[in-house]
Structure 1
Amino acid sequence: MNKKIILVFLLLLIATFSFGCDKKSSSDYKIFYIDIDVTKLIPQDYKPTSTSDKKKLIKELLSQLREKPDNTEARQTIPNNVKINKVSQSDGLVVIDFNKKYKELSTTEEVLCRAGIVRTLLQVNGINKVKFTINGDELLDLSGNVVGYMDEETFVDNPGEQINSIMTEEISLYFANEDGNKLVKENRVVHYSSNISKEKLIMQQLLKGPEKKGLLATIPKGTQLINVSVSDGVCYVNLDETFKNQNYEITEPVVIYSIVNSLSQVDEVSKVQISINGDTSGNYRYNYALSKMYAPDFSLIVSNKED
């Protein structure tokens, strides 16, 4: 009797494990539509006719994004006048080429359209990134920068927390020049969740590093933002211990004021204090006490040679 119970348990365990290994079943897809007020995405359950042919599945999902959803509070993600010229897929990458009508979408509608398409297609097994082009040309953001390939991190607030309601803003970030002794301003258009604070948005973007050529990241790769908050004009930034793993070719003041100057664009921020794992004792390297609050210093800023 005990052997039978154990056998049944093992069979159930195997069945459960096998089911969990499938990234997508045939009925757990979602189509991400735009709400009628054009402020957020609304997911709707969808069961594809088949998931065995990847190219056909992508075509089917894109077709559904053109359809009017059942939800009366939502509207189609891809407008009727925006046509798809071509869809190519290779090695986990999807490139969608639109006609010039795509450029006529309002800023908010364009971001939501892009987010809806990308989030819908990333559900397909083996699809890791999606890129848009317009009549063969790269899609550009408001600053004229190439948008490029988009993945699950493009439209998120915190890891694993997807953006539904999206805002667009241009922010200024400060990175090191090639010599590591000066700061260069990089303007960046970002799309972010409406419930994220501006100081957190800035730190997240700063941690990603520069997008422009000729600039160097000031914060070590892999550094995690534990938390960031503003109180009485002071922005408190708490980074994990990876922050200590510095590139010593970048000078101390450049690292400190990369953070301070970037955060100074937040209206409520006049000074910044940096801590490591919540600890404000000791110094950053040699000369910068973590217990001190730093006001912005724009004397370190130079223009980028690439501009």
Structure 2
Amino acid sequence: MTEKKNVRMLVFLLILTVFLSGCKEQEREEAPKEFVTCIHDGSLEKVSYRIKAKAADAQVKELITALKKDPKEEAASSIFPEKAEIESWKLEKGRLVVSFGKEYANISPQEEVLFRAGFVETMTQLSSVEKVLFLVGEEPLKDREQREVGEMDREDFLENTGLLLQTYQSASLKLYYANKKGDRLEEEQRLVRYSSSSSIEKVILEQLLKREEGDPILPENTKVLGVSVRNQVCYVNLDEEFLKNTYAVDPKITIYGIVNSVIENGKVDRVQISVNGDTNIQYLEKVDLSKPLKADWKLLEKEEE
């Protein structure tokens, strides 16, 4: 009887050991890794990054440098807007104070919120950084209502799938669709409400996929695989459904409906369109997509006098 009890106890201890080992392994897998944030498909995303520096100041400097670089991933870009120039920074007693040039005030609201969230999220992973304070020149950063933003930590930003920030704003977009004949572009004004975590360029592409009256500029089954901005160029990556355009529209009108809409409302002067990451394409054998395209305003339908 005692021998059976000992066997049962041994089996129980073995099962318990395996269970606890599994829990520890799961904890190791779920433990947050070192990272930097980037913008991918219009939202914030963490990218694994190994911090090499040991000293606190050196770690901050290293992460700022890493955040400024574009990731290797397709359709991913640095969180740094062009006008976010850091003039100086100081780390003292868990408080990181970052001073930007006055041009920071001219960053679009959606870019600024994304950048701020990504910067704070990245920096506060360091044990030496508890709070982050942004200055513009020598003055504390203010929001659109001219209220001081103040010190920030990771709790100030809601973390969700893809690190989406659940705040919303409205924008009036001037979009370009094909006219009834499909040979010219016609303007359509649209008021949209969207998450401030999405880039305006991504919102534009989403709007081009739908239209209340008439055909949209993109085939309805087209999927937007990625939208990113680098050096004044918007990179739009679509899936193969884009090549199956069945609408009676001149191919040039389809392409420049995208290009003109993005340039009209976004912060870019050229648009590079790719299909599944490939730019070596002659769209419907008529439009060369191998290089970024500038807007063509001559394609707009002229108003009747």
TM-score range, shorter chain: 0.3 to 0.5
Structure that is richer in helix per residue: 2
Taking structure 1 as the reference length, the TM-score comes to 0.44
Taking structure 2 as the reference length, the TM-score comes to 0.44
Larger RCO: 1 or 2 (CA < 8 Å, sep 6+): 2
Determine which structure has more spread, i.e. the larger CA radius of gyration.
2
